[in-house]
Amino acid sequence: MSSQPIIQVQDVVTAFGDTIVHDHINCTIHEHEIYALLGGSGSGKSTLLREMILLQRPQSGTITVLGQNIATLSPEEAQNLRQKWGVLFQSGALFSSLTVGQNIELLYREYTDLPANLINELVKLKIDIVGLPAHARYLYPSQLSGGMVKRAALARALALDPKLLFLDEPTSGLDPFSARQFDTLIYQLRDLLGLTVVMVTHDLDTIHHIVDRFALLGEAKVVAEGSLEEVLAINHPLIEYFFQTTVQTSHQKEIHGIQS
């Protein structure tokens, strides 16, 4: 795995009013890796992701994406950068007045000069690889189940073959089998298309199976960063809590206590 940094977060501080969400945090995401942001609810994972994709600005600190400091981009540079990544939002964020097919097609129509035939082929292809049935392209987002929305949103995120993929909780709301399929898909896409994937996830299976490195956010800091082995070697209550090394046993005791 080459280790050129694709995204570098340095000394980032974010606050909403008086609540500090990020207190001088740092992390580095390398090329071709599947990187996860981990942490409890409200620990600022989505916020950090939003800062990386230019939806929000940190109070201070710098974020470098694909070698560019995103705080000092001109509008054209920002526009170019935005075409190099795909984003899957936590709630899908499909355009509700367009069908799934049109949601994907829109990007090709706006950003490429491909003939209609090829656009059609690509739309079918993207819908197929994310595991949606072929007729799903004619459905509106309101006609999809939660898991189908996730898949359709992934198809849209993959439309322009981005080199960088941001996923906010891709497997939440999927059944366990689909979640593993989703993992495999992302893993294979990374290998074959040379993607870099940044994802927010709560899914420990995902962490075990496909994530190369991750950052654990907590108490407004990055508690730990690295591969699973590296992080597990660190001794910190939050890490224990997350990976249930000690908590599980005490929790089981509690349950048994109630039962007896």
Partner 1 sequence: MLTIIDDPAHITLQCHGVWTLPNLAAVAQNLELFKPLKPLRWDISQITELDSAGIALLQLYYRNFENQGVVSELVGTNGTHTKLYSLLYKHPHQDAPPVKIHSWLHNLGREGYENIQGVGKFLAFLGEAFVLLLYTLRYPGKIRYHSIMVHIYTTGITALPIIGISAFLIGVVIAFQSLVQLQKFGADIFIVDTIGISLTRELAPLITAIVVAGRSGSAFTAQIGAMKMTQEIDAMRTMGFDPFIFLVWPRVFALILVMPLLIFFADLIGIFGGMVVAKAQANLSFNEFLYRLKGALAIKHYVIGIVKGPFFAFLIAMASTYRGFQISLNTESIGHYTTVSVVNSIFLVIACDALFSVLLTELKL
Write the CB contacts of 195 (distance below 8 Å, at least 6 apart in sequence): 32, 162, 163, 164, 165, 189
Output the smallest distance, CB 1 to Mg ion, in A. 27
Closest residue to Mg ion, judged by C-beta, is 46
Report, in Å, the least distance between residue 35 CB and ligand ATP: 15
Number of chain positions touching ligand ATP (CB under 6 A) = 11
How far apart are the C-alpha atoms of 11 and 23, rounded to whole Å? 8
Instruction: From 16-24, 124-132, 136-144, 251-259, give the range in contact with ligand ATP by CB under 6 A.
Output: 16-24
Q: Which is nearer to ligand ATP, 23 or 31 (CB)?
A: 23
Q: Does 46 bind Mg ion (CB under 5 A)?
A: yes
Distance CA 205, CA 158 (A): 23
Report the half-sphere exposure of 8 (CA within 13 A, side-chain side): 10
Give the distance, in angstroms, between the CA of residue 139 and the centroid of all CA atoms in the same chain: 25
38: left (phi over 0), alpha (psi -120 to 50) or beta: beta
138 binds, among partner 1, Mg ion, ligand ATP, none (CB under 5 to 8 A by kind): partner 1
Nearer to partner 1, 128 or 212 (CB): 128
- For Mg ion (CB under 5 A), the number of binding residues is 1
Per DSSP bridges, beta strands 85-88 and 213-218 are unpaired
Q: Which two tokens stand for residue 11?
A: 């000394």
CB nearer partner 1, residue 45 or residue 126: 126
What tokens appear for 28 in the block? 């580095």
- Binding to ligand ATP by CB under 6 A, coded x per residue (else -) over 42-71, reads xxxxxx------------------------
Nearer residue to ligand ATP within complex by CB, 44 or 141: 44
CB nearer Mg ion, residue 41 or residue 260: 41
Dihedral (CA of 104, 172, 19, 25) sign: negative
Q: How far apart are the first and last CA of the chain?
A: 52
Among 27, 35, 39, 70, binds ligand ATP (CB under 6 A): 39
Residues binding Mg ion (CB under 5 A): 46
Residues binding ligand ATP (CB under 6 A): 16, 19, 21, 39, 41-47
